[in-house]
Amino acid sequence: MIRIKAQALEELVRDIFVKAGCSEAEGKRIGKYLVIANLTGHDSHGVQRVPRYLQWKADGDFVADRTVKVVSETPVIAVLDGQYGFGQTIGPQAVEIGIKKCKEMGLSCVALRNVGHIGRIGDWSEMAAAEGLVSVHFVNAAGSVLVAPYGGTERRFSTAPYSVGVPRPGQRPVILDFATSVVAEGKVLNASFGGKALPGDALIGPDGKAGNDPHMLYGDYTPTGPRNHSKGTGAIRAFGDHKGSGLAMMCELLGGSLTGTGATEHGRKFSNGMLSFYVDPAKLDTTGFFPTDVQRYVDFVKSANPSTPGGEVLIPGEPEERTKAERLANGVPLPEDTWGAIVEAARKVGVDERRIQLAAQ
């Protein structure tokens, strides 16, 4: 494992995408959001994605510097087409529209279709919370059928993430953000590169047996080579038995079918779909009880006796905040193979060798 300073990593990712044909501003956004994922501990959605994003761009699946297209709108609704732009560009544009409408009307709903990978969904809840808004996001990933439903062994869902953000004035918001599978696919990817091992029951084979070997999902691969999930015969398991499997299905139906992205289908090119709801607490709560009650309740939850000696009850978003503080201070840890794959990608697109070495210092 090596450690790279967050800013150096962000700049290297920016340079890679600029060399690959993105504008400076887009390269910067890709660097920013991928590194935030690493900083918050979600390495699955961090810089390990660089080679795959480059491949998607080279194949024409993602297009540089797209602007979100408004398909239709009302004062409270926007239907948006991401036109297969990078999620790090289209995601913030879509959230900005939701925030603007919500601030005007107190409530808004944004259906975003056909967007490149929008990464860590918590970023979008955090963006809304920074403006004082509650938000809920149902997401699917068309073209990425990886997850077996409860009771099945075959892939039927994407890892279909779900996120809710609750602002707290003057404090870090409460941010719930997870894949509806036992693990996000990026965690399988990360484990395949020598990162953190998966829980023993994360995957399921065609024989119905649970396991955690990334080869179940990717088949054969070389240490720094690409991982192709169409080569494996297994699936990731939906989390939380029938309840998690049900939530995954709702992410497909709302984030996929209702946005016009399509509930996950085999053979379709990758695209995220996201259905987002925004609520302005200030419009709902005219006497100002909400912030006080949120604080009272957070304190109440955290005061529960720990289940293990020396343990602690954390609220959603707290682990990310702690990891971020540690990694900002000490650098982002990356398995050697992940760093190797990024260096390989940087050389391939023509990033200056001194630039690469500088990032590694």
Which residue ranges make up the site for ligand NAD (CB under 6 A)?
42, 44-45, 117-122, 139, 141, 159, 161, 163, 175-179, 183-184, 187, 272, 314, 316-317, 319-320
- Please list the residues that pair with 75 across neighbouring strands: none
Side-by-side strand order, sheet with 162-168: 69-73, 77-81, 107-115, 271-279, 134-142, 162-168, 171-178
Q: β-strands 162-168, 134-142: how paired?
A: antiparallel
Give the nearest distance from C-beta 161 to ligand NAD in angstroms.
4
Residue 102 to residue 97: CA distance in whole angstroms? 8
Report residue 198: phi and psi, to 5°: -80, 155
Q: Which is nearer to ligand NAD, 19 or 117 (CB)?
A: 117
Question: Cβ distance 332 to 9 under 8 Å?
Answer: yes
7: Cα within 13 Å, side-chain hemisphere: 1
* Residue among 55 and 74 whose Cβ is closer to ligand NAD: 55
* Residue 175 beta carbon to ligand NAD: minimum distance, rounded to whole angstroms: 6
Of 15 and 123, CB closest to ligand NAD: 123
- The answer to whether residues 70 and 32 touch, using CB atoms and an 8 Å cutoff, is no
The nearest distance, CB 313 to ligand NAD, in angstroms, is 7
Q: How far is the CB of 67 from ligand NAD (least distance, A)?
A: 20
Answer yes or no: are the C-beta atoms of 256 and 265 closer than 8 Å: no
Nearer to ligand NAD, 194 or 319 (CB): 319
Q: How far is the CB of 159 from ligand NAD (least distance, A)?
A: 4
Whole-number minimum distance, CB 288 to ligand NAD, in Å? 27
State the DSSP string of 305-342.
Answer: PPSSTT-----TTHHHHHHHHHHHHH-EEE-HHHHHHH
Which residue lies nearer to ligand NAD by CB, 78 or 184?
184
CB of 304 to ligand NAD, least distance (A): 11
Report the alpha-carbon distance of residue 189 to residue 69 in Å, rounded: 32
> Which residue lies nearer to ligand NAD by CB, 31 or 122?
122
Nearer to ligand NAD, 27 or 316 (CB): 316
Beta strands per DSSP E along 215-312: 235-237, 271-279
